[in-house]
Amino acid sequence: MAITLTKEVTDLLADVRTNKVLATVDHLGFPHAEGGVSLLAGEQGTLLYLESFESSCTNKNLVRSIWFDNRVAITLIGSAGESFQIKGKPVKVHITGPLFLKYYHQLRQHQGDVNLAAVWEIEPDEIINDGQAARRKHEEQVHPFFTHLDRLVR
């Protein structure tokens, strides 16, 4: 089930300083993670991944994800240390048409002679605040006894 992207996530997606990593799986189930990818918030609440090369490992894995209903994971790490993991499902790929042309022209206008092979739509189904403070709070709630003994003595 698709969920709505939060303002924190859309702000991170829009920030050029955000580190973005897209993880997919291959035909054997082995993970493949690619950093420095072009990820954007789509107009319909989806994530848009701009793929430059048709023959890339990520592109092949995304095709396989649509065929076999596989999920992908995206990690966003902001310049202030905030971190989110988004899990989702690739639902559509654009290799022509208005959406493709919009991003093709934008990329070429800002980056020069670059290629765009596809614009992938990824429907998010889970967003996890993966920042250190949020993780610590979650772990203390879920696993209250998983702590070092020296932290109990005050």
pLDDT tens digits, residue range 50-60? 999 999 999 99
Give mean pLDDT, residues 74-89.
Answer: 94
CATH class, domain 7-152, is mainly beta
* Model confidence at 1: pLDDT above 60: no
Sequence spans of domains, the chain: 7-152
**Bridge partners (DSSP) listed for residue 31:** 25
- State residue 62's pLDDT score: 97
Find the mean pLDDT for residues 10-20.
94
- For the chain, how many residues are written? 154
Residues 76-113 as b/e (b if ≥16 CB within 10 A, e otherwise) read bbbeeebbbbbbbbbeebbeeeeebeebbeebeeeeee
d(CA 97, CA 106): 14
Rounded to two decimals, the pTM is 0.85
